[in-house]
């Protein structure tokens, strides 16, 4: 299978992706980790050192490369669809795109309890974060083959829902 997970930061793409890959006995690829391997920087450190625009270009190259995998479960970064060309790349790929959705309050609550630092979280006001969230919902929806509302669901239940729809 070729499956890619999209959704806002903190929604659980990496946890769900890993579990889904294990369940399907398929390779798992995390695009943020791949970015780190390729550039030697974490996404946050790269944006800090260079710029978000440069980060998006490199992120797109990594996305393109990984979408060549004959089979894999890929988890993407929350902003991977920021560039219109990245949305096109995902729309025209053979990968089955699963959008992990959740309510804004649930998502932000989870992010606040997360130890993993998110550069965009610290840079934005509460209003700015809500705007970004709304803009991105449209991006995720524009590429999704399947949308799962993850509110109140444990990772195993999300994986079970995805598998039941494949
Ligand atoms: C980003 C989300 C991060 C990472 C980078 C930018 C974003 O990934 O790619 O910090 O723009 O939302 P996660 O969604 O895995 O946190």
User: What's the complex ipTM?
Assistant: 0.98
118: Cβ below 6 Å to ligand 1? yes
**What are 55's two structure tokens?**
């980060």
Judge whether 160 lies within some domain. Answer: no
Query: Is residue 118 annotated as involved in ligand binding?
Result: yes
pLDDT in tens, 8-37: 999 999 999 999 999 999 999 999 999 999
Q: Are 97 and 162 in contact (CB under 8 A)?
A: no
Count of domains observed in the chain: 1
Q: Can you tell me the distance from the alpha carbon of 110 to that of 155, in angstroms, rounded to the nearest whole number?
A: 14
Judge whether 163 lies within some domain. Answer: no
CA nearest neighbour of 61 among 35, 84, 36, 27: 35
Judge whether 161 lies within some domain. Answer: no
Judge whether 12 lies within some domain. Answer: yes
43: Cβ below 6 Å to ligand 1? yes
Judge whether 74 lies within some domain. Answer: yes
Judge whether 82 lies within some domain. Answer: yes
CATH number of the domain where residue 34 is located: 3.40.50.300
pTM above 0.90, yes or no: yes
Q: For residue 21, which phi and psi values (nearest 5 degrees)?
A: -65, -45
Query: Which atom of ligand 1 lies closest to the CA of 11?
Result: 14
53 CA to middle of ligand 1, Å? 13
DSSP state at residue 94: S
pLDDT in tens, 73-121: 999 999 999 999 999 999 999 999 999 999 999 888 888 877 776 777 7
The residues, ordered by sequence, that sit 6+ positions from 14 with a Cβ below 8 Å of its Cβ are 30, 32, 75
Q: What is residue 132's three-state secondary structure?
A: helix
Domain range enclosing 6 = 2-154
Judge whether 8 lies within some domain. Answer: yes
Judge whether 128 lies within some domain. Answer: yes
32: Cβ below 6 Å to ligand 1? yes
Q: Can you tell me the distance from the alpha carbon of 23 to that of 118, in angstroms, rounded to the nearest whole number?
A: 28
For the purposes of burial, counting CB atoms within 10 Å of the CB of 156, is it exposed (0-12), middle (13-18) or buried (19 or more)?
A: exposed
**What are 5's two structure tokens?**
């997970």
């Amino acid at each position: 299978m070729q499956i890619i997970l999209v959704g806002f930061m903190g929604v659980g793409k990496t946890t769900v992706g890993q579990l889904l890959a294990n369940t399907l006995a398929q390779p798992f690829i995390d695009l943020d980790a791949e970015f780190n391997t390729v550039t030697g920087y974490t996404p946050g450190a790269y944006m800090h050192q260079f710029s978000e625009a440069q980060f998006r270009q490199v992120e797109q190259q990594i996305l393109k490369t990984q979408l060549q995998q004959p089979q894999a479960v890929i988890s993407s970064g929350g902003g991977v669809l920021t560039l219109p060309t990245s949305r096109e790349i995902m729309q025209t790929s053979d990968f089955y795109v699963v959008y992990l959705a959740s309510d804004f309050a649930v998502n932000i609550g989870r992010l606040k309890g997360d130890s993993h630092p998110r550069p965009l979280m610290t840079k934005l006001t509460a209003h700015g974060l809500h705007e970004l969230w709304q803009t991105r919902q449209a991006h995720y929806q524009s590429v999704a083959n399947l949308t799962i509302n993850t509110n109140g669901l444990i990772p195993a239940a999300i994986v079970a829902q995805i598998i039941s729809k494949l």
